[in-house]
Amino acid sequence: MESADGVVEIDRLEQGLLLDEVDTDIDDQDPVLYAASFDESEENFVNYQTAYWVLYSLLLVLAWGFGLFMLIYLPLRRYILRKDIRSRKLYVTPNAIVYKVKKPVAFPCFGFLEKEKYVLLPSVADIVIEQGYLQSLFGVYSVRIENVGVRRPASDDVKIQGVSNPLAFRKVVLSHLSNIREEVFSRQASAIEEVSTPRMGPSSVTLMSPPSKSPGYDYFSQLGDATILQKLEEVSSSVKRVQALIEEQNPQAPAN
């Protein structure tokens, strides 16, 4: 059986490993460049959603009478809206826009709904700030993150209501996105310059240098010179023989 000290030591090792894993997960997270706030617009957001709910309830009361239940549900609805906006987190990292929310379901006793959305910065085309007529009455803004792809439907865009300072959020995202695109463009330009610039390497020097002489080059050159001299001597001897034959056939006439 293992001793108690051994069990304690194993527990300490397991705790150390768990702490190391937690620290590694924290270190792997990207730093936050900007975090949007929802606190300042909480009351305006709740009042806007309440007015929206009441208008629909009155229309349904006149139509089928179902709007009466919606009016009774209104206090619980306001509670859910407050929990919703207080749980929202919207921040910008060097690589993406992150949006997280954890809100209660229609009846809070049944738990919460969690939602996380990550939008990569290279896929962002623009940050659109919208405000309808009813939103303008309560000072509520909507932020819509447009995608780059023209074929993608507008429903794929991320739309967030209740951001306190949407202009600052839009400025941070677009400025950081501009820096990323400039960095990518500069890298591509430098790569093109490196490819287009000619380089004089050792191979070019080797091609321009004269061919080296083989060890038997001098021997063959001397042998060629001796052969030429021998041929010349043979030709001269042949010429002399021809002259001698001509003189024998045409002797000079005797003197008178």
Summarised one tens digit per residue, pLDDT across range 90-140 is: 999 999 999 999 988 888 888 889 999 999 998 898 999 999 999 999 999
pTM of the model: 0.62
| Rounded Cα–Cα distance for residues 141 and 163 (Å) | 6
pLDDT tens, position by position, 163-214 = 999 999 999 999 998 888 888 888 888 888 778 765 544 444 444 444 454 4
> CA angle, corner 120, sides to 117 and 124, nearest 5?
105
In 3-state terms, what secondary structure has residue 30? Answer: coil
185: its two tokens: 């463009």
Per residue in 24-36, pLDDT tens? 333 346 789 999 9
Cα separation, 139 vs 162, in Å, equals 9
- Give the burial class of 169: count Cβ atoms within 10 A of its Cβ; 0-12 exposed, 13-18 middle, 19 or more buried: buried
Contact 164, 38 (CB under 8 A): yes
Contact of 166 with 143, CB cutoff 8 Å: yes
Contact of 98 with 158, CB cutoff 8 Å? no
Q: What is the DSSP letter of 150?
A: S
